[in-house]
Structure 1
């Protein structure tokens, strides 16, 4: 690697982890983090929970909301540049372009993340989105003046945000096509338990329908029913920001940059990490797409080490925590399906075991941390679940 040092595109968990790992592993030369986001790097998980509920203040002291205080970057000689996107990568010249300025790199980490997918219906631009801190501010401000809300989409972000809005005192309707939240991904029985957590906060769940339009009075459903509300939130998934990578000729598949377990792309000295990466996992033995905070941190750690000349690979089992209302739900999985599952209820929670071809491929827990930890090892080793699973046809 030349003396040009490291350039990181993106200030989310993957990008900041890459910069930190690079310095920790002895990486020399300048480190520049380029971000279109105008805010100091922050934690995203609280945005749909504590922050939305008004229980978390914006204090840039490195605690809770912000990843690090400003002096952290100064102490590590990391040049953090906000507010302007990277518009071009030249892999031959080893440069990136920002606001007309060409910045050289010895190694480049693309941690561009993903953006929220807009609601593709007439009036869909009226719906608020939730991904960045700026989005969360708009949503929280709107909620302060609202009495009712419709949340579209019952993924984890939709469930978390709906519960948080209800806990603020709003009358909340959660709209989704599935009979229960995430039935296709987690199974109907697991979805019922998630639904119980959501509705316990006062949320009304409307299943088997989709939104056909949004106007000033609320949303119109495909069965002709109109749900009046003061604000609409579209929690309808995300799309990875891989456009500049594709334009630079990197190998991109389904909007994700293809990388090895070492986070190397198809171009020399270029790495990718986080939501934008389609990375090979050595434990899984295949490429795995993830959109979880901890996995982004793990990707960045590998990319930064490799950029500094230290060998590292991604082998961890993907996983994350979600908090719906006051209840934490934890999930480990490869994320590419299962053929059998079993729900085990406990006094104050549950565990769902998932298998494929007799091997554990996922575990979903509520107040069952021992099962969550056990499941991680079983998934990594490809061993059977500790209980007999029930065929689900998924």
Structure 2
């Protein structure tokens, strides 16, 4: 085969797959392709220090340039793979070039969803370095912004815009950010962190329509009938897996993602998938656990690379990540498929731990603010299916 390992996508899952393949003795040509024009980079800074203008592209590189040379990994930018032929083990680019591979990893990630409102297609989103670069240029030219969506990306970006001196409001459907996903106490803490960062949160609101464009200002009409006039609107309304390539190729899918087992293997023997695009079986949970965060993508990429090199490997970690909103860090580890109770513990130093339990009292998640020890312990309890700590129920 021309290429021993083809990696489609240059995010943490893709680069980790290439690295892990080499670490586990994989030989032959390793090629990473990406439609972007940049070398692989970290996405988390795009809503934080990169957006604030505190770092630039070299600062957010996934790996130093020497990494690719030392590991004999080729990175080809500006290459958009548009067709897979699993039976022939071939990938075809938009320009018609064909890459034949022995094994391949699909790590195409996800795309930002446009604002689901009349005129929403004209509203900027934040997913790529180009998006963030444009947004930080605009931040130097505007005085007000509306961020639609109270998820972590929306909260992070809002705090960064406020730090740039932009009067920023977040609107979301929950009375406090992520109330339905994380419970009232975690949501209240996120609202407080936003407030400390100079961001106003307006809950229970939906945007029905948006008029305007960057440079001319926007008018956002809420479902209450109120119209909000701002210089800039940012949509942070979720992501959609970039899975069409696999779907058209006939791979098995699960709810719009590529179905893979715990070794990240798809329904095609020589094809693997990892990261946001995959719906992976988790060996510890004993069920499929979709994820949307960089740490899980990197973990899955390492599993895929090892498996492609012929090493027995399986994904068994509890999903987890952290978010930095302004000057505060919140950490969350959970299976992510719901909880029966969310029990808060308020610490004397102002920290917060929220323990999430199922109907049998077993730990299924933990969220912490200024309490790293509970985060570390919580991940172990979730993995074990152990009861939440007795102290947390007092």
TM-score bin, normalised by smaller chain: over 0.9
Query: 1:311: which partner in 2?
Result: 312
Q: 1:255: Cα distance to partner?
A: 1.2
Give secondary structure in 2 for the equivalent of 1:51.
coil
Structure 1 segments (4+ residues) deviating >3 Å: 387-390
| Pairing of 1:233-382 with structure 2 (within 5 A) | 233-346=234-347, 347-356=349-358, 357-382=360-385
Distance 1:210 1:85 in 2: 35
Q: Distance in 2 between matches of 1:276 and 1:126?
A: 25
Q: Which residue of 2 aligns with 1:385?
A: 388
Distance in 1 (CA, whole Å) between partners of 2:391 and 2:255 is 35
Counterpart position of 1:131: 127
- Tell me how far apart the structure 1 counterparts of residues 356 and 66 of structure 2 sit (CA, whole Å): 44
Residue 363 of structure 1: SS of its match in structure 2?
strand
* CA–CA separation in structure 2 for the residues paired with 1:126 and 1:228: 16
Note the 1:211-230 alignment, pairs <5 A.
211-216=207-212, 217-230=218-231
TM-score (normalised: structure 1): 0.96
2:158 matched residue in structure 1: 162
- Verify the 8 A CA contact 1:160 1:324 in the aligned structure 2: yes
Output the CA distance in 1 between the equivalents of 2:255 and 2:110. 13
Q: Distance in 1 between matches of 2:361 and 2:283?
A: 20
The answer to whether the 8 Å contact 1:36/1:85 transfers is yes
Distance (Å, rounded) in 2 between the aligned partners of 1:246 and 1:58: 33
Q: Which residue of 1 aligns with 2:27?
A: 28
Residues 296, 320 of structure 2: 8 Å contact kept: yes
Please tell me whether the aligned partners of residues 218 and 231 of structure 1 are also in contact (alpha carbons under 8 angstroms): no
Alignment match, 2:215:
none
Q: Please give the root-mean-square deviation of Cα atoms over the aligned residues, in Å.
A: 1.2
C-alpha distance in 2 between matches for 1:306 and 1:300: 10
| Matches of 1:247 and 1:213, distance apart in 2 | 33
SS, match of residue 265 in structure 1 = coil
Aligned length: 385
Contact 1:126 1:232 in 2 (8 A): no
Q: Give, in angstroms, the shift of residue 122 of structure 1.
A: 1.9
- Asked whether 1:85 is paired with 2:80, we answer yes
Give structure 2 stretches of 5+ with no counterpart.
213-217
Aligned equivalents of 1:70, 1:298: Cα separation in 2: 22
Secondary structure of the corresponding residue to residue 27 of structure 2: coil
Comparing 340-349 with 175-184, greater Cα deviation is found at: 340-349
Alpha carbons 2:333, 2:375 under 8 Å: kept: yes
1:389 CA displacement: 6.4
Alignment partner, residue 181 of structure 1: 177
1:103 equivalenced with 2:105 (yes/no) = no
**Within 2, Cα distance between the matches of 1:178 and 1:341?**
17
Distance apart, 1:75 and its partner CA: 2.3
- Give the Cα–Cα distance (whole angstroms) in 1 for the partners of residues 379 and 2 of structure 2: 40
TM-score by length of 2: 0.96
Q: Is the 8 A contact 2:2 2:100 kept in 1?
A: no
The answer to whether the 8 A contact 1:342-1:388 is kept is: no
Say if 1:11 and 1:34, in contact at 8 Å, map to a contact too.
yes
Candidates 194, 199, 203, aligned match of 1:203: 199
CA–CA distance in structure 2, aligned partners of residues 329 and 79 of structure 1:
36
Quote the Cα distance in structure 2 between the aligned partners of 1:4 and 1:17.
17
SS of residue in 1 equivalent to 2:316: coil
Q: Secondary structure at the match of 1:199?
A: helix
Given the alignment of the two structures, is residue 69 of structure 1 paired with residue 64 of structure 2, yes or no?
A: yes
Cα distance in 2 for residues equivalent to 1:387 and 1:153:
35
Distance in 1, matches of 2:335 and 2:357, equals 11
Deviation, 1:31, is: 0.6
Aligned-pair distance for 1:120?
2.3
Contact persistence 1:341–1:389 (CA under 8 A):
no
SS in 2 for 1:311: coil
- How many angstroms apart in 2 are the aligned matches of 1:67 and 1:314? 22
Post-superposition offset of 1:387: 3.3
